[in-house]
Amino acid sequence: MASLVPCPNCGRRPKEEFTIKGAALKRPAAGADASEWFDYVYLRDNPHGAYEEYWHHTSGCRRWLVLTRDTVTHEVAACRDAADGSRLEERT
Amino acid sequence: MSSYRLSKGGLVDRMAPLSFTFDGRSLQGFAGDTLASALLANGQMLVGRSFKYHRPRGILTAGAAEPNALVTVGRGGRTEPNTRATMQELYAGLEAQSQNRWPSLDFDVGALNGLLSPFLGAGFYYKTFMWPAPLWEKFYEPFIRKAAGLGKASYEADPDSYEKSWAHCDLLVIGAGPTGLAAALTAGRAGARVILVDEGSLPGGSLLFETATIDGEAAADFARDTSAELQSMPNVRMMMRTTAFGWYDGNVFGAVERVQKHVRDPAPHLPVERLWRIVARHALLATGAEERPLVFGGNDRPGVMMASAMRTYLNRYGVAPGQSTAIFTTNDSGYALARDLEAAGVDVVAIIDSRPSAGVGYRGKARVINEAAVCATRGRKAISAIEVRRDSRTEPIVVDALAMAGGFSPIIHLACHRGAKPVWSAEKAAFVAPAGLKGLEVAGGAAATTNLAACLGEGAVRAQAIIKELGLSCPPVALPKVEGDEDTHSARPLWSIPGVKGKAFVDFQNDVHLKDIGLAVREGYSHVELAKRYTTNGMATDQGKLSNVNAIGLIAKARGVSPGEVGTTTFRPFYTPVSFGALTGAHTGHHFQPVRKSPLHDWAKKHGAVFVETGLWYRSSWFPRSGEQNWRESVDREVLNIRKNAGICDVSMLGKIEISGSDAAEFLNRVYCNAFLKLPVGKARYGLMLREDGMIYDDGTTSRLAEDRFFMTTTTAYAAGVMNHLEFCAQALWPDLDVRLASITDQWAQMAIAGPKARQILQKIVDEDISDAAFPFLAAKEVSLFGGALHGCLFRISFSGELAYELAVPAGYGESVADALLEAGKDDGIMPYGVEALSVLRIEKGHVTHNEINGTVVPADLGFGKMVSATKPDFIGKAMLQREGLAAPDRPQLVGVVPLDPKQSFRSGSHILAKGVAATLENDEGYVTSSAYSPHIGSTIGLALVKSGPSRHGEEVVVWNGLRGESTPARLCNPVFFDPQNERLHV
């Protein structure tokens, strides 16, 4: 786990200020079929390497962030506001 | 004979004598002593008993690795067990107690364990206590628990305070020995932001006992001058008494600073310990090396000491180990000790050197015995002689102290805290840190460098390279000239010694001896991790700082492989024990669990409320009146009065969230399962929020105060969770919606006014017309109060089933408005009521709370099936709610339950069984979620989640409480016990 999280709004802050929700997945479209929803709600990858997660800066700017973290080295490659920029990767 | 203080020498302040006690005996030391040096100066060589065999133990080291000299320091709430006497600075009035002995250190009954030792070898727990199994709980476990452990913790509260801090630097130097000082000086002079930490009280490390000179200056003086220069630099921070205990992600280091562990009466304005997290762009590990013991018989007897420790006591503290000393060495460091002892007037009777040719340049009087080993010691509570073995002949030599110099193991713990494994270097004969660590370099003794000049040079050169890499310029480094140094390189470690007699200890703290390691290998536990668990080698407070490498060497030898192939066990933080106080910091008591008081807390208190803790909140439970014998009488009165007249209740702790923006209605439409898009301005609506898996998450009312502004309430328990959830929806799921969220829980004092007379009372303070026509059920709007003196929000909503309102006013006005309402309703019989009455009223009405919303229910389970919108294209939980199983007919669903005999009662949590069946898991039909005594029904009533509940009204069942052995015949019924037509709501 990273000791310091590079919040795009607040700078590097201690991890204790954050709450982790888990995998940053794209929410299926309203009419998507049941299996797609089932994957979204219940199935998680357990990758050896880069992983995108939702982190909430609960005791800071109160923004939801998408953090790219290496599950092996714990290095944080990127951290952006969840409302910003690139669309989440589609699960394949 | 025993150890004693020399008449001169050392860095202690002989003008500052200090009194202290050991096991109640008053002793004297000097300022600058550790407890260990002061005990030795007083001839106290026996300081504790060993863990398993209760063998007499003395002081083995002069530093952090000490396995034996663990004592309890202080008294009362300041009692600190397992304090290493070698690390505890002496202060006037220090009180120390020896451990693990009864009735006294000199006469210890537990020493009888030594006689049982043939039965107490490695794995004896697993073998001995296997059978008969029933004896485990009653006999074996209590016996083991009684025997286990070292010092005893106090049950009193710690009176001292602790702190946590962050620090940032370009270069963190860990260890202020020669390497660290040289590095810090180089980086400091170059202008880098440097933090230098050291666990000792004085900077210098090995320089404090070194007799070599540096640029013609005594080593200790060089240390003093260098640290003075460092202290004068504004860009350098020196932190003494600070142990860097762990290396964490992001190059963050954990360190604990013992701010006031060296004083008797800590100043109240300072913490006793401070936990640091140090963010370093780069770090240099200059922690030096640990001298290894040698594994011979009786190597644990008081008077046997590490050679470097003996040299430390002699040169730094002016304490001699005895009158006639022997030195057992595998390298040249033993000769440096011999020279220093002889210079101080202490006889060295023999130097036993495992190597074929003696150390170069030794000109002293001691007899040097080459290719020899100490195979045993004699003595009872202190060493009296050694047995030296050479060419298979054994010779006794009378001594009163023995030094052992088994070579040095680099202290690389921190370098391996992030997953890297130490590697064995055959050339250095040591485990060293792996190359290529990011953000951390290892230098000096920690990198197996074995002489002083090289350490000084390495520190400077590494620091220079690091600061260049950080983009700073660095002036050229001048390397100091060292004279009189001794290289301590040991080419060939001496793992095992021929002809060992008696117990030869590998791990002193855990009483693991040579035979235990052999046994572990023979029984198949030769993997280093298994050997550790099987023998306990390397466990407990010292975590094998002295023992691990020897154990690995012995396992390697037994398996016929190199130590590198055996490998090490995993290094984990903490390097040395860290107190719970330091880890907790200021987060104790109310700083850990603060009290939340509603704006109406003082109002409720004024009217005699009894409070109950719910989460962090203090909520008013009931308001007793004189003459009432118990809480039920008060609650019954409040309930009956509300249904007859009116009551007022503090509901400020409900979560309140303001939602605004042009898409606020669309947003609510997506987060609630029922429709909100077309909620008219001025109206409130009950909403059910689902989780994405279709289960109910929370409920509450949300009111539309303006086209683009809503006032949401949540349950008390889920206020924070709902806020986080809504923020997630707004920011991560639908960032394109124009919606803003603000938590306003603390901004409003909110009170419920319920009962048939609620309107006439409220109308006295509300300026607008609130008649049923003007302000019908579920009306919600901002209102003017007291002729325009104040504005608030009024909602016609009801949890009690009565004509009821909730009024929100700015928090600071809560108390005066509540009092004004009591005054306005005085003639109408208004009374304050608490959450107990609120609970009775809502159970009578079948209203649910989180007792029922237990994370496994969908709307239909609670009778809300028709609320779920069938037309909305999307809302949280919509897709998963369609799952077939969630519509199964036998799901546990909400139902009422009453005892057949009104005199009988039951409790929440009790299970529902069909009549006449056994109380088994298979027969379980559901459970009572809420229960209360209803003064209207005249008996206990309950809500329950029961399989197919709604279709079973009228069925007789049994309410079973296995914990209390109660079985109550009862009947399932409509969960709405009172006014099922809701006539009272709409008056």
User: What would the pLDDT profile of B198-207 be if each residue is shown by its tens digit?
Assistant: 999 999 999 9
- Considering the domain architecture, whether residues B828 and B720 belong to the same structural domain is answered as yes
Which of residues 691 through 750 in chain B touch A, CB cutoff 8 A? 692-693, 724, 727-728, 731-733, 735
Q: Tell if the CB–CB gap between A41 and B692 is shorter than 8 Å.
A: yes
Question: Worst-scoring range by mean pLDDT, B136-140, B443-447, B955-959?
Answer: B136-140
Q: How confident is the model at residue B137 (pLDDT cuts 50, 70, 90)?
A: confident
- Say what the pLDDT of residue A60 is: 97
Is residue B847, in this structure, part of any structural domain at all? no
Q: Is residue B173 part of a domain?
A: yes
Whether the pLDDT of residue B248 is over 80: the answer is yes
| Separation in Å, CA of B729 to nearest CA in chain A | 9
Taking Cα atoms as reference points, which of B707, B692, B817, B811 lies closest to residue B762? B817
Confidence band (pLDDT; 50, 70, 90) for B360?
low
| pLDDT at residue A89, rounded to an integer | 47
* Angstrom distances, CA of residue A78 to CA of A2, A65, A68, A83: 12, 10, 5, 15
Residues B557 and B448 in one domain: no
One domain, residues B458 and B495: no
**Of B17-26, B539-548, B646-655, where does mean pLDDT reach its minimum?**
B539-548
Residues B823 and B745 in one domain: yes
A41 vs B166, B248, B880: nearest CB = B880
The domain in which residue B522 lies consists of 491-566
Picking from A4, A34, A82, the nearest residue to B252 by CB comes out as A4
B249 vs A contacts (CB less than 8 Å)? 1-3, 74-75
CATH assignment at residue B742: 3.30.1360.120
The pLDDT of residue B488 is above 60: yes
Closest residue of B to A30, CA-based? B874
Q: Inspect the interface and report whether the beta carbons of A41 and B277 lie closer than 8 Å.
A: no
For residue B730, give the chain A residue with the closest CA.
A83
Q: What percentage of chain B has pLDDT greater than the value 70?
A: 98
Same domain, B498 and B435: no
Map residue B728 onto helix, strand or coil: helix
Domain co-membership, B715 together with B827: yes
Question: In chain A, which residue's Cα lies nearest the Cα of B876?
Answer: A30
With 50 as the cut, is the pLDDT of residue A92 above it?
Answer: no
B731 to A64: CB separation less than 8 angstroms, yes or no? yes
Q: Please indicate, yes or no, if residue A58 is contained in any of the structural domains.
A: yes
- We report the CATH number of the domain holding residue A75 as 3.30.2270.10
Residues forming a β-bridge with A4: A14
Minimal Cα–Cα distance from B875 to chain A, Å? Answer: 8
Residue B192 phi, psi (nearest 5): -75, 155
Instruction: Answer yes or no: is A88 within a domain.
Output: no
Distance CA B936, CA B938 (A): 5
Give the integer Cα–Cα distance in Å for B843 and B941.
8
What is the residue-averaged pLDDT of chain B? 95
Residue A43 located in a structural domain:
yes
Do B814 and B753 fall into the same domain?
yes
Kindly state whether residues B460 and B532 are assigned to the same domain. Answer: no
| CATH number of the domain residue B240 falls in | 3.50.50.60
Phi/psi for B238 (5° steps) reads: -100, 130
B685 lies in the same domain as B799? yes
Decide if A89 is inside a domain. Answer: no
- Test B732 with A64 for CB contact under 8 angstroms: yes
Compute the Cα dihedral for B5, B8, B12, B18 and give only its sign: positive
Residue B109 pLDDT exceeds 90:
no
Give the nearest partner residue to B731 out of A30, A42, A82, using CB atoms.
A82
Structural domains counted in chain A: 1
Average pLDDT over every residue of A74-85: 91
**What pLDDT is recorded for position A91?**
38
Indicate whether A86 belongs to any domain. no
* Domain-embedded: residue B793: yes
pLDDT at B226 exceeding the cut of 60: yes
Which pLDDT score, from 0 to 100, does residue A17 have? 96
B249, B693, B732: residue with CB nearest A54: B732
CB within 8 Å of B963: residues ≥ 6 apart: none
B73 HSE (CA, 13 A, CB side): 23
From B434, B453, B480, give the residue that closes a domain: B480
Task: Kindly identify which residue of chain B lies nearest to residue A2, measuring between CA atoms.
Answer: B249
CA atoms within 13 A on the CB side of B421: 9
Q: Is residue B336 domain-resident?
A: no
pTM of the model: 0.91
Q: What tens digit of pLDDT does each residue of B875-892 get?
A: 999 999 999 999 999 999
- Chain B, nearest residue to A19 by Cα: B724
pLDDT, tens only, B775-804: 999 999 999 999 999 999 999 999 999 999
The amino acid at B212:
A
ipTM above 0.90, yes or no: yes
Tell me the C-alpha to C-alpha distance, in Å, between residue B209 and each of A68, B113, B221, B308, B790. Answer: 50, 39, 11, 9, 77
Residue A25 lies in a domain: yes
Q: Tokens 């020669």 belong to which residue?
A: B178
Local confidence band at B148 (pLDDT 50, 70, 90 cut-offs): low
Rounded to the nearest 10 degrees, what angle do helices B835-844 and B631-644 cross at?
60
pLDDT in tens, B292-336: 999 999 999 999 999 999 999 999 999 999 999 999 999 988 999
Q: B873 CB near a chain A CB, below 8 Å?
A: yes
Of B249, B262, B236, the C-alpha closest to B180 is B236
Q: Contact at 8 Å (CB) between B265 and B225?
A: no
Let me know the angle formed at the C-alpha of B208 by B204 and B209, rounded to the nearest 5 degrees: 145
The one-letter code for the residue type at B396 is: P
In a domain, B572, yes or no: no
In a domain, A50, yes or no: yes
CATH number where B557 lies: 1.10.10.1100
Nearest-Cα distance to chain A for B418, in Å, is 9
Contact A2 B874 (CB under 8 A): no
Does a structural domain hold residue B746?
yes
Instruction: Name the band, by pLDDT with cuts 50, 70 and 90, for residue B930.
Output: very high
As a whole number of angstroms, the distance between CA B755 and CA B770 comes to 15
Same domain assignment for residues B951 and B976? yes
Q: Is residue B717 part of a domain?
A: yes
Same domain, B786 and B833: yes
Question: Which residue of B584, B880, B881 is the best one to mutate when testing the A interface, meaning the one whose CB has the most A CBs within 10 A?
Answer: B880
What does the pLDDT look like over B71-107, one tens digit per residue? 999 999 999 999 999 999 999 999 999 998 888 888 8
Helix (H) or strand (E) holding B229: helix B219-232
B524 and B546 part of one domain:
yes
Is the pLDDT reported for residue B869 higher than 90? yes
Q: What is the DSSP string of B247-288?
A: EEGGGEEEEEEESSTTSSS--TTS-SEEEEEEEEEEEEE---
Domain that holds residue A53: 4-81
What is the tally of structural domains in chain B?
4
Q: Among residues B50, B13, B122, B163, which one has the least CA distance to residue B588?
A: B163
Contact B253, B244 (CB under 8 A): yes
Is residue A90 a part of any domain in this protein?
Answer: no
All residues of chain B having their beta carbon less than 8 Å from the beta carbon of residue A34 are 879, 882-883
Q: Report the alpha-carbon distance of residue B893 to residue B898 in Å, rounded.
A: 16
Is B825's pLDDT higher than 80? yes
Model confidence at B175: pLDDT above 70: yes
Of the three residues B785, B817, B841, the one that is the final residue of a domain is: B841
Which of B425, B455, B480 terminates a domain? The answer is: B480
With contacts defined as CB-CB under 8 Å, which chain A residues touch B879?
28, 30, 32, 34, 37
Q: CA-nearest residue of chain B to A80?
A: B732
Query: Would residue B151 count as lying in a domain?
Result: no
